[in-house]
Amino acid sequence: MTRTRVRPPSRVAGPEATLLTVERGMQVLRAFRCERSAVSNAELVRRTGLSKATVSRLTSTFIQLGFLRHVAGGREFELGTGPLSIGHSFIEASPLVRMANPFLQALADKLNVSVALAIPNGLEMLYICYRTSDRIATLRLGVGSLLPLGTTSIGRAWLWALAPAEQKRLISELKRAAGGRGAALEQSIRESFAELDANGTCAVLGGYQRDAYGVATPLRVGRDGTLMGLSCGNAEVAPNVAQARKRIGPELKKAAVQLEALFAETDGLP
């Protein structure tokens, strides 16, 4: 009697496989940072948690599509022109960005700081608007910058305004990602929450760059009340954070109220 060998079904097939591939591809692209430093396959594996084979396959595909390119004389990668065109289209098409930029520029000039509006992106905050005073030259940030959610003022202000269940879940993720520093990170986050409870803003020094401080507050934007973070910051030698908080805090809270009114009839998300 001849037996017919039955091939076991694929673990992931059809549309589900396509969605999984797209999701993994987006993880790789998000692993690139705004500082434009070249990234190796090994570093992409570390940042994404994907297998070496998956990362190699995706980077090869993205090179063919123009989303990545090899750094001259090396095997590392940097973003190509593909993501640039998408980002430019996003900025040009966003009424929120067009409305926010003049307002944020005026605030930056008034306080002599950089001003940012950000939304969450995993365990980071993504700058969708960024304006700076002409006298600021030490912060290496801009639209598209990704800052840590757990260690920066803008991330903690956004986290503070979340519903309790979602806040608890994200703090657990942040602690897990921090490893042995998880308990200290949570304590520092709780201290910022206490500051927000008392003043409506929080200030953090060195959350992403040495000698750089940020003062932040949350705001809800548009008809659907999209939660975002608004921050002012600067980098100085031995900055006086208490003085910066006192100087910036009241203006920042006033700006958040004005921005919420400005965006009241928008769709919220950029």
Instruction: Give every CB contact of residue 86 below 8 A, 6+ residues apart in sequence.
Output: none
The tens digit of pLDDT for each residue in 204-248 reads 998 877 788 999 999 999 888 999 999 999 888 888 889 999 999
Q: Which domains are delineated in the chain?
A: 14-80 (1.10.10.10), 94-262 (3.30.450.40)
- Best CA proximity match to 219, nearest among 211, 209, 229: 229
Contacts 24+ apart (CB under 8 A), 255-260: 255/103, 255/107, 255/230, 256/217, 256/218, 256/219, 256/230, 258/103, 259/100, 259/103, 259/117, 259/219, 259/221, 259/230, 260/219, 260/220, 260/221
Do 25 and 50 form a contact (C-beta atoms < 8 A)? no
Share of the chain above pLDDT 90, in %: 43
pLDDT category at 25 given cuts 50, 70, 90 is confident
Residue that is written with structure tokens 């910058």 in the block: 145
Furthest CA-CA distance within the chain: 88
State how beta strands 124-132 and 146-148 pair: antiparallel
Residue 81 has a CB neighbour count (10 Å cut-off) of 11
CA distance linking residue 156 with residue 229, whole number of Å: 9
The mean pLDDT value for 124-128 works out to 89
Query: 10 pLDDT band (50/70/90 cuts)?
Result: very low
Structure tokens, 269: 């998300």
Task: Determine the Cα–Cα distance for residues 262 and 269; give it in Å rounded to an integer.
Answer: 14
